[in-house]
Amino acid sequence: METIQQLKLYAKKVVQAGLVVGAGGNLSIREGDIMYISPSGFDLQEIEDHQWVRVEISTGKILGDLKPSSEVLMHLACFRKRPDIRAILHAHPTYSVAVSSTGNMIPPLFPDFPAMVHNVSYLDYVIPTTEILANAVADVISDSDVVVMRNHGVLTVGKTMKEAYFYMQLTEESAKVYVIACTMGKPRILTEQECQELRALSSERYRQTLLRNEVQ
């Protein structure tokens, strides 16, 4: 099944890229009114085909015996708010967590980040796995493809899992560049005009189209 293969592919990518450790992180893909989501307590790269949990998006009903990720409410909230998205990824990328825990935002320091990631929302710390967090994410997800949760992690959404994963990579790389730059001096942050000029480039719009249309 294509959906399962996509989930397995990006589950391994997330672990191999160091975006999660242990049994951390979760991801899901929508198929109609059904969400396929990683099971609770599993190392993402060790999930077998039959272990991805099916959940009805409209009702929250779990279809099967395994327990879904403890962040299932957050995934449901995003799918209910954003009928345009098909994939959700939640990870705990080191540099993004580090920068956000200081109260700072992750600034645009190189072209790819502002060109591809147009809106980032920041949430102050909310206890994970709760309805409180799910509601907080739901309040901002309509206008954002990236949500940075201070002292916790990052959530990205996309029309494909490839798009959601790319947003996660760019956010973490931007946080990493920022941390490194700060150790050497005061970073020059791209201006809003420079960011808008990047977003207007036809090459960047083409890349966005590829991310949203490709299968993997």
Residues 18-67: tens digit of each pLDDT:
999 988 999 999 999 999 999 999 999 999 999 999 999 999 999 999 99
- Among 45-59, 60-74, 80-94, 191-205, the range scoring the smallest mean pLDDT is 191-205
State yes or no: pLDDT of 211 exceeds 90.
no
Query: Mean pLDDT across the chain, nearest whole number?
Result: 94
Measured on CA atoms in the order 70, 138, 32, 60, is the torsion positive or negative? positive
Domains of the chain by start residue, with CATH: 2-213 (3.40.225.10)
pLDDT at 213: 72
User: Are residues 4 and 31 in contact, defined by beta-carbon separation less than 8 angstroms?
Assistant: no
Name the residue with higher pLDDT: 212 or 49: 49
Separation CA 131–CA 105 (nearest Å): 25
State yes or no: pLDDT of 216 exceeds 60.
no
State yes or no: pLDDT of 7 exceeds 50.
yes
Separation CA 182–CA 98 (nearest Å): 13
pLDDT at 207: 64
Separation CA 184–CA 149 (nearest Å): 27
Q: Any catalytic annotation for residue 71?
A: yes
Distance (Å) of CA 123 to CA 83, 89, 99: 22, 17, 13
pLDDT at 22: 85
Residue 206 — pLDDT band, cuts 50, 70, 90?
A: low
Catalytic residue among 2, 46, 71, 192: 71
Residues 149-179: tens digit of each pLDDT:
999 999 999 999 999 999 999 999 999 999 9
Separation CA 163–CA 179 (nearest Å): 25
Q: Tell me the whole-structure pTM to 2 decimals.
A: 0.92
Both tokens of 57, joined, read: 């998006």
Separation CA 92–CA 20 (nearest Å): 5
Residues 127-142: tens digit of each pLDDT:
999 999 999 999 999 9
Based on the number of CB atoms within 10 Å of its own CB, is 131 exposed (0-12), middle (13-18) or buried (19 or more)? exposed
pLDDT at 47: 97
pLDDT at 153: 98
State yes or no: pLDDT of 203 exceeds 90.
no
pLDDT at 215: 46
pLDDT at 214: 55
